[in-house]
Amino acid sequence: MADRTAPYGAFNFAVNLNGPNGPDSPLGGFSDVSGIGSEITLSEYRNGNEKENHVRKIPGTHKVSDITLKRGIVNSEDLWDWLKQVQREGPAGQRTVSITMRDEAGDDVQTWVLRNVVPTKYTGPTLAAKGGGDVAMEELVLAAEGIDLEVAS
């Protein structure tokens, strides 16, 4: 993999919500995953007796961006059930979620592991009687306390 120079496509990925049916029971594929990221906040500090008139940038706390998952409705209550679990049980509903990017052959390239994840927002489909081939989509927004990147070897 170290010899590859072409970037990977963004279309081949897997999401593992580690739900009640186990990590090997996918509950429906997602068409979109957005918002994977981490941010470190900086504090500015300057000693009063500094010779140069500038501030120091001191790394402080970090936070993980909210991740949005979208999928076509597949007659499953798994996302809704997780949201209800967190409403009833609070932190006991936290999960570890993995988002794995794959290459053209379907081999894992890298995985973002999100720790202590809870759903914060569920949005159902937009329904319209205009006819046509639009897919009914649902959306789930996730909040995570931590994120790790694992690169396949």
Which positions ≥6 away from 103 have C-beta within 8 Å?
8, 12, 109
Torsion, Cα 100 106 109 110, to 10 degrees, reads 10
Phi, psi (degrees; rounded to nearest 5) at 91 = -60, -20
Which positions ≥6 away from 124 have C-beta within 8 Å?
138
Closest CA to 31 of 67, 69, 66, 82: 69
**pLDDT value for 146:** 97
**pLDDT value for 22:** 67
Q: Where are the domains of the chain?
A: 13-37+65-151
Q: For the chain, which ranges sit under pLDDT 70?
A: 1-2, 21-28
Domain 13-37+65-151 in this protein, CATH class = mainly beta
**pLDDT value for 19:** 79
